[in-house]
Amino acid sequence: MAIVINGSGTVTGLAVGGLPDGTVDAGTLATNSVDSAELIDGAVDDSHMASISGRRNMIINGAMQVAQRSSATGLTNGSSQIIGQVDRWRYNESGSPSSQFTLSHSSDSPNTFGNSLAMDCTTSGSGHNVVELEYRVEAQDLQGVGYGTSSAKQITLSFWVKSNQTGTGNVGLYRLDNTPRHAAGNYTISSADTWEYKTITYAADTSQAVDNDNGIGMKIWFTLGAASNYNTSTGDGTWGGYADGKRGGGMTLDLTSSTNDYIKITGLQMELGSTATEYEHKSYAEELALCQRYYQRIEASDGDFYVMASKGQSTDATRFAQTLAVPLRASPTISQGGGIGTWRVFRPTAAVITSSNTPTTVGFVQNAGFVSLQINGFSGISDNYFYGTSPAFSSSGYFDMDSEL
Amino acid sequence: MVITNAKYIKDTKTDTNVGVSATIDGQLYNIPLDTDNRHYAEILEQVADKKITIAEAD
């Protein structure tokens, strides 16, 4: 069909596919020839923008790449809030479950991912209200959703899942600030032992703002087992007050009933709007840095691997600034393990002295690249003298700084 | 969290408590006195619920 340009400049008679590849190029479109007047609202929808719009995913480590706690072992009942090998993910339970699980970093994944989070039932049981995988979103990272305002937006969760069971699962969202709000959504696993892609959209919520701070803004619950009184509704994605019955609402999955039970999850993305877009992959270095806001492990393979300038604190302790990979969210808990052995203090004119104590955080500044630690338990320190303090690690030794939500 | 053996850590220079040592789910932790810290927040909650007490430092 011919292309006709009439006297008013209108182009008519142009069939779909009428412009062959290369017809419209930089030479065809003069500067500013396509401006906001031509691109009216909705002219290009979200699905065509996904590949060029960045930072859509509000989840850190959604591809389960980062697993700093590689030595974390099995979970037992009563170990609620234990964070397993995969950064940012924890086990949560309520009630008195007799079932037990392991939470591990798996290399089993869909083709476009390298890892997944695996939760395996090692002892079947009952007695729980709920058994869940939990992820926590920092409050200040949720401000773009506009909760509690007239501009509140929908959010969509997408993820890959694999399990030995088929049936309906439940993913709950729970906001703690002000009056708590709770929404639950359902997904269905159709084929056992097969990776499947799922999406759930949650309604906009104009009630109850999320505080703009470094606290917990939202908990995301992947419920794996729920008692009958925790399964009294359906997961329709709408918000309301907290309700036990939503925690497992609509579920038919029960991953506590057999030692064959497992679930693997990866590619978790939470984004604005009602459309799930392709997973926003980040580099390992980028994901690691994001995870390190909440947890950092210092490992070394040799004694006296590094020495920190420090000051004597009374007669039994030294204080020093431990460099951070990135600023931590909050003042960290310190633990050590893997045969760390002792901390050593080097003195200018005297022999090395040691302490097997764990350091304690005694100084923390938001957004600073260091944290002030103190180790007690030395003998022979002089107050305010200058020393060198070193972690005398064995080959598998480490110490952890934990600022998780 | 299963918390046992909670005890204050004292700075002998200032004679003030600077942290809490506790065994949580079998692992020893030194916890700062900061309510933004999840372990300290949990300890305070369990103290309020009379599930645990924090012993004075040695």
Token reading at A198: 């799922």
Q: With an 8 Å Cβ cutoff, are B30 and A383 in contact?
A: no
> What was the pLDDT predicted at A74?
57
Closest A-chain CA to B25: A79
In a 3-state reduction of DSSP, which class is residue B49?
coil
Is a pLDDT exceeding 60 seen at residue A51? no
Report chain A's terminal Cα–Cα distance, integer Å.
Answer: 64
Mean pLDDT lowest among A65-74, A262-271, A324-333, B9-18: A65-74
Of A22-31, A177-186, A390-399, which has the strongest mean pLDDT? Answer: A177-186
Contact residues, chain A to chain B, C-beta under 8 Å: 78-82, 214-215, 313-317, 329-335, 337, 358-362, 364, 374, 376, 383, 402-405
In a 3-state reduction of DSSP, which class is residue A136?
strand
**CA atoms of A253 and A192, how far apart (whole Å):** 12
CB pairs under 8 A between A and B: 80
Give the pLDDT mean for A307-316: 96
- Determine contact: B30 vs chain A, CB below 8 A: yes
Q: With an 8 Å Cβ cutoff, are A331 and B25 in contact?
A: no
How does residue A21 score in pLDDT terms, banded at 50, 70 and 90? Answer: confident
The alpha carbon of residue A277 is apart from the nearest alpha carbon of chain B, in Å, by: 33
Cα angle vertex A305, ends A300, A311, to 5°?
A: 120
Q: Is the dihedral of CA A270, A272, A278, A280 positive or negative?
A: negative
Nearest 10 degrees: Cα torsion B3, A178, B34, A342 = 50
**CA atoms of A371 and B37, how far apart (whole Å):** 14
Is a pLDDT exceeding 80 seen at residue A95? yes
**Of the partner residues A315, A330, A402, the one whose CB lies closest to the CB of residue B34:** A330
pLDDT, chain A, mean: 90
**CA atoms of A334 and B31, how far apart (whole Å):** 7
Helix residue ranges per DSSP H, A91-248: 244-247
Q: What is the CA radius of gyration of chain B?
A: 11
Give the pLDDT mean for A116-129: 93
Q: Considering only CB atoms, which chain B residues are within 8 Å of A361? A: 19, 30, 32, 34
Is a pLDDT exceeding 60 seen at residue A59? yes
Cα distances from A167 to residues A27, A36, A189, A205, A253, in angstroms, run 56, 47, 5, 28, 5
Closest A-chain CA to B10: A376
> What was the pLDDT predicted at A9?
61
> What was the pLDDT predicted at A156?
98
**CA atoms of A329 and A332, how far apart (whole Å):** 8
The string of DSSP letters for A323-385 reads E-SS--SSPPEEEEESS--EEEEEETTEEEEEE-PPPEEEE--TT-SEEEEEE---SS--TT-
Give the pLDDT mean for A122-129: 92
The alpha carbon of residue A80 is apart from the nearest alpha carbon of chain B, in Å, by: 5
Q: Burial level of A354, CB count in 10 A (0-12/13-18/19+)?
A: middle
Q: Considering only CB atoms, which chain A residues are within 8 Å of B31? A: 333
Q: Residue A81 CB: number of other CB atoms within 10 A? A: 16
Q: With an 8 Å Cβ cutoff, are B29 and A374 in contact?
A: no
Q: Considering only CB atoms, which chain A residues are within 8 Å of B28? A: 335, 358
How does residue A48 score in pLDDT terms, banded at 50, 70 and 90? Answer: low
Instruction: Give the pairing of strands A216-226 and A167-175.
Output: antiparallel
Give the pLDDT mean for B40-49: 96
**CA atoms of A368 and A324, how far apart (whole Å):** 8
> What was the pLDDT predicted at A222?
98
What does the pLDDT look like over A256-289, one tens digit per residue?
A: 999 999 999 999 999 999 999 999 999 999 999 9
How does residue B13 score in pLDDT terms, banded at 50, 70 and 90? Answer: very high
Position A11: which residue type?
V
Position A365: which residue type?
V
Is a pLDDT exceeding 70 seen at residue A313? yes
Is a pLDDT exceeding 60 seen at residue A12? yes
- Which residue do the tokens 């700084």 mark? A401
Helix residue ranges per DSSP H, A118-256: 244-247
Is this complex's ipTM strictly greater than 0.90? yes
The residue count of chain B comes to: 58
Give the pLDDT mean for A318-340: 93
Is a pLDDT exceeding 70 seen at residue A5? no
Cα distances from A236 to residues A172, A250, A288, in angstroms, run 10, 9, 34
The alpha carbon of residue B31 is apart from the nearest alpha carbon of chain A, in Å, by: 5
How does residue A379 score in pLDDT terms, banded at 50, 70 and 90? Answer: very high
**CA atoms of A110 and A194, how far apart (whole Å):** 9
Token reading at A145: 């959703």
**CA atoms of A229 and A237, how far apart (whole Å):** 19
**CA atoms of A310 and A288, how far apart (whole Å):** 28
